[in-house]
Structure 1
Amino acid sequence: MKLKKYFTSRGPIIGTLLAIIFGILVFLIYFEGYSGMPTKIDRLPVTIVNEDKQAKSLNKQLKTALKKEFKHVKTTTNLASAKSELNGRQTYLIIDIPKNFTKKVSQNKSTELNFYINNSNQSSVVSGMKQVALTIGNSVSQKIIIKKGQAILATSASQKLKKQLASAKAKLAKEVATLAQTSPTAAKAAKESGSKKIAAAKQSGEKQIKQQVAKAYQNMDESVKVKIHNVNHVHQGINYAMAPFFANLALYLGTVLGAMVMYGTFAKFAKEDGRMMAFGSMQLVFVCVSIIASLIDAWAVKALVGVDLNFSKLWLNFAMVLFSGYELNSLVMYLIGQIGTSLNIFLTMVQVVSGAGMLPVITMNSFFQTIHYISPLYYATQINFNLMYGGSGTNALFLQYAGLILALIVINSLIVSLQKHQRLLDLSKLS
């Protein structure tokens, strides 16, 4: 039967295997890679800033409450230092107890419990931290503080009532003792009557204390408010939140196919000019293509996102994405030829997670935490967050990124010097 040859040829068999392998592996990458949120949000460090010297007890209560939700809780009195760490993504949430907080609470005046969140982060982190801020804020600032204030007021009033009752009991005992000398019966009656009056006074006093406490704190829910300070403005919409990552991913995907095509150019001229000459020439080609293409891409992204940013740095970052993409994807091809494109697609999927465009590295499992060090998309995405929306450490990220690119060039040059034959993919042989 003629139809049989279509099913038994190499093409359909390889296509079936690729569909099965990629279907399972790519799903596994994303399923495991994104398991960190929200279950591992407790790994994100948070900071308590106590600017009120009288709020030591509240500071302790906050730390205890946060320890139940987070593994790393830092306390300090320096808000400026904490904000700097927030901007550098060394902490992800600041809870600030402002000056005179305790005084205002005790006077039943309006005050705020401040929360600072860096919006120049993955959307999952921002939304998660806002939810934590509202939950912790409402619980701690309203319930704990109100109960603490009620307890203090009730204790003070109870002590006063106890003194009054003790004085009444002493007076009654003295009167009973005097009557007992002349009339034991009258003394007994006076004791019973006086005890009833004291018991009634105690009951009435306790009731009055409860009423006074309730009246004093009836507006407390309005006096302590949760105020969320959004550090680094990001336009509303998941498209803006994901823009730093999507821009790099789009560029990198282009290098996967581009590297495959340009490897063919390298293999062609390696036979004529020698491997190292062809390799050096292709490096120059990579540089030129990266500079020209990234200029146009950077202009388009800036226009679409509509934010005020340093265009030259965005251009440089995009150029580095393209160049590093060509280098990393070419590395696989230098080893196994153009068939390595299938492996490069797989490695790209790994970088979608390790690039930290959707999840912070600290929430990932050990595999992706390790991979992120050699992931071009990681450095490029963090730089994009800083350039588009704000953040510190940009220059350090550029240096680390440049170090990765240099390492890729060295590795590729070694492979080319040792690899004598260039493997080209002949699609006709797959039929």
Structure 2
Amino acid sequence: MKFKQFLNLQGFKASIFMGIFYAIAMLLIFLLGYSALPGNMDELKVAIINDDAGESGSQIAEQLTESLPFKIDTELTNEKALDKLGDNKYALVIHIPETFTENAQKGESAQIDFTVNEASATMVSSAMSSVVTEINNQLSTSFSTQTAQGVLLNMNVPEEQATAIAEQIETAYVGNYVIMNDVPDGMHNGMLPMFLTMACYVGAMIAAMQLVGAFKLSRGKASKVKLFTYVQGSALIIAVVSTIFALIVAFSISDLDTSIILKLAGQQILLYMAAFNVCAIFTFLIGEAGMIINIPVLLSQTIANGATMPREMMYGYFNFVSHISPMYYSVQSYYAVMFGSTEQSPFLWGLVAVAAGAVIINMIIVRFVHKDVPMDAIASATTSVPVNAQPIVNN
């Protein structure tokens, strides 16, 4: 075979098509999806709670409300705001305590609490940390200036008192940065929910192509119902085996508590079955060419899974995908289990709903799209010569 003949083979043509298609699809989806950062930061919600009865607290709350480029909510109690923060409904909670003005007037440290949820989209926690740093710097400068002005009015003071006043200037304002659901150091810990989810999804996507292919090759050897059951049973076996190895790696490298291993295992198996059936939809419909659709769907979910940005920041298409995406519900559920960020059950039920919906769609496709093949079709085609048949002898 010459090289030119090799290039004419179907495998080469398919490979070059997938190479071009994958490059275009990946760049279009990723570049368009991540262009929402940081432009859509103003879609994030921040709660400002002013419990201070004095004038200083009101002034600061008003200034922050006007200057922060977010959706500001000032109608909540601190307890309610923290609950919503834990559920990732808010990106930051700013609490001005009731003794803020009183402490400032007494020369004691005036403190404001800034609480962020680290078990959230990485872009949010990182951005809020920068915002809090900037606010603290500005407020610290402002309070130091005000305190210094008071010192200038009392220049004729003993040396010891002057030293005390100088210390007072340095501690006039304290910004208390509070972390909710602290995530262990290391990017591998913070991104583990996404990594576990993607590893499972890609494996399920490849299995969908292989097992549905086996389903089509076995037509006529068993009923469609039985073959469909075989496909689902095989997928479940792979889900269990792959989960064991995935968790061995995850627990070996990341800082996870072994007490949650059963929860992680159960979810990983559920995710596999959901991802498998979602990917199988297109494979049942158009065969191996279904990968042409499955790849963009996979890439879309890497943006829509909520690990990098929350739903509020996503463009409409990715926001929609997140509501029907196995990845989104899996990533959020893993955050809840690993770092205690919120309740796990709503996301598990979302994953169950996606899995059940995909299974039902596949059952409909198998029932109405795939034609019945007579059970004896293959048998009749492969029947051997009858025993009592007489051989033909040429004289």
- Deviation for aligned residue 1:223: 1.8
Contact 2:143 2:172 in 1 (8 A): no
Letter in 2 for 1:80: E
Other-structure match for 2:93: 94
Contact 2:47 2:76 in 1 (8 A): no
Contact 1:298 1:318 in 2 (8 A): no
Other-structure match for 1:245: 194
The DSSP-based 3-state class of the residue aligned with 1:273 is coil
Which is worse superposed, 28-37 or 326-335? 28-37
Structure with more of its chain in helix, by fraction:
1
The DSSP-based 3-state class of the residue aligned with 2:98 is coil
Contact 2:215 2:228 in 1 (8 A): yes
Other-structure match for 1:142: 140
Partner Cα separation in structure 1 for residue 224 and residue 291 of structure 2: 21
Q: TM-score, normalised by structure 2?
A: 0.84
Matched, 1:363 2:313: yes
Other-structure match for 1:326: 276
Letter in 1 for 2:219: A
1:273-293 Cα deviation digits (max 9, x unpaired): 122221133223323332343
Contact 1:356 1:378 in 2 (8 A): yes
- Deviation for aligned residue 1:342: 3.4
Contact 2:275 2:355 in 1 (8 A): no
Letter in 1 for 2:250: V
Other-structure match for 1:311: 261
In the superposition, relative to structure 1, how do residues 27 and 265 fare at CA in structure 2: closer, same or farther (>3 Å)? same
1:335-370 Cα deviation digits (max 9, x unpaired): 100221232222211111111222212111111001
Partner Cα separation in structure 2 for residue 149 and residue 82 of structure 1: 32
Matched, 1:419 2:387: no
In the superposition, relative to structure 1, how do residues 60 and 399 fare at CA in structure 2: closer, same or farther (>3 Å)? farther
Letter in 1 for 2:33: G
Number of residue-to-residue matches in the alignment? 364
The DSSP-based 3-state class of the residue aligned with 2:171 is helix
- List gaps (5 residues or longer) in structure 2: 157-161, 373-395
Other-structure match for 1:276: 225
1:160-200 Cα deviation digits (max 9, x unpaired): xxxxxxxxxxxxxxxxxxxxxxxxxxxxxxxxxxxxxxxxx
Matched, 1:220 2:218: no
Partner Cα separation in structure 2 for residue 10 and residue 123 of structure 1: 43
Partner Cα separation in structure 2 for residue 360 and residue 417 of structure 1: 38
% identity of equivalent residues: 21
Contact 1:49 1:75 in 2 (8 A): yes
Matched, 1:30 2:30: yes
- Deviation for aligned residue 1:417: 0.7
Other-structure match for 1:202: none
In the superposition, relative to structure 1, how do residues 20 and 264 fare at CA in structure 2: closer, same or farther (>3 Å)? closer
CA root-mean-square deviation: 2.7
Other-structure match for 1:17: 17
Other-structure match for 2:387: none
Other-structure match for 1:285: 234
Contact 2:50 2:57 in 1 (8 A): no
- Deviation for aligned residue 1:35: 1.6
- List gaps (5 residues or longer) in structure 1: 155-207, 423-431
Q: TM-score, normalised by structure 1?
A: 0.77
